[in-house]
Amino acid sequence: MVGTETPEDAYTAEPFVPDRGGLPALRRAAADCRGCPLHRDATQTVFGAGKATARLMLVGEQPGDQEDRQGEPFVGPAGRLLDRALEEAGIDPADTYVTNAVKHFKFTRSEPRKRRIHKAPTLRETTACGPWLAAELAQVEPELIVVLGATAGKALLGSSFRVTRVRGTVLEEEINGRPERLVPTVHPSAVLRAEDRDGAYQGLLSDLEVAARALR
Ligand code: URA
Ligand code: SF4
């Protein structure tokens, strides 16, 4: 309909991304992003966090319920599990930069308690949010990227990405015109949901050990 188009109809964060100012400017600008409809129901933008000088960048899917409330990535149950696995693999979580492919929490409300249930972002939403991830990569210039699950993998490596095929290996791919090294693994939330939780955790741990070795 003419005259009622909103910025989110364009499905791209591009016009909201500043081209100078570093991570602090990106974070400030992302707070006002309306590059897709997901900002409407979420509490706030959850931008990446951590060291601008980090050698390792971890990319998840999207903020969860806790992250949406607190405004920081990976501060809920999945984040606690991830921190434990990182430490066990010999990586200090404080030395990493952590972010998500999508910066707003997508959810549905379950009756009768109206709990907010995570809903996977679509490829269209992930693509819309891509300019933020590209800008973070350009600022942090990590030596290695740990790809946490399918959404992050598709965001970085395209829609044909399959976690099970490449997890625990060091990939060398060109992303946004720059060579990057990546180690894909499962999403920590998938470990929490797994029937064999110990087995799934050991799998995540051994993939993170591959990442730790690749950094040495
Ligand atoms: N899951 C994610 O992918 N990211 C978060 O920040 C929290 C849970
Ligand atoms: Fe912008 Fe990404 Fe949020 Fe969509 S999900 S409004 S593109 S920050």
Does residue 137's CB lie within 6 angstroms of at least one atom of ligand 2? Answer: no
Does residue 50's CB lie within 6 angstroms of at least one atom of ligand 1? Answer: no
Average pLDDT of every residue of the chain: 96
- Given ligand 1 and candidates 105, 187, 192, which is best to mutate, with the most ligand atoms within 8 Å of its CB? 187
Q: Within 13 Å of residue 62, how many CA atoms lie on the same side as its CB? A: 27
Residue at 54 is within a domain: yes
Residue at 207 is within a domain: yes
Residue at 107 is within a domain: yes
| 62 Cα to the center of ligand 2, angstroms | 10
Query: Phi and psi for 184 in degrees, rounded to 5?
Result: -80, 150
Give the CATH number, domain containing residue 130: 3.40.470.10
| 147 Cα to the center of ligand 2, angstroms | 19
Does residue 61's CB lie within 6 angstroms of at least one atom of ligand 1? Answer: yes
| 100 Cα to the center of ligand 1, angstroms | 7
Query: Phi and psi for 176 in degrees, rounded to 5?
Result: 50, 40
Residue at 1 is within a domain: no
| 33 Cα to the center of ligand 2, angstroms | 6
Residue with CA nearest ligand 2 atom 2 = 129
What is the percent of the chain where pLDDT is above 70? 99
Residue at 177 is within a domain: yes
pLDDT digits 0-9 by tens, 39-73? 999 999 999 999 999 999 999 999 999 999 999 99
Three-state SS string across 61-127, please? CCCCHHHHHHCCCCCCHHHHHHHHHHHHCCCCHHHEEEEECCCCCCEEEECCCCEEEECCCCHHHHH
Confidence band for 1, pLDDT divided at 50, 70 and 90: low
Residue 2's pLDDT is what? 59
pLDDT at position 103 over 90: yes
Which of 145, 169, 176 is closest to 55 using CA atoms? 145
Q: Tell me the whole-structure pTM to 2 decimals.
A: 0.96
What is the percent of the chain where pLDDT is above 90? 93
Residue at 202 is within a domain: yes
| Domain extent for 172 | 7-215
Q: Give me the number of domains the chain comprises.
A: 1
Residue at 2 is within a domain: no
Residue at 173 is within a domain: yes
Residue 3's pLDDT is what? 67
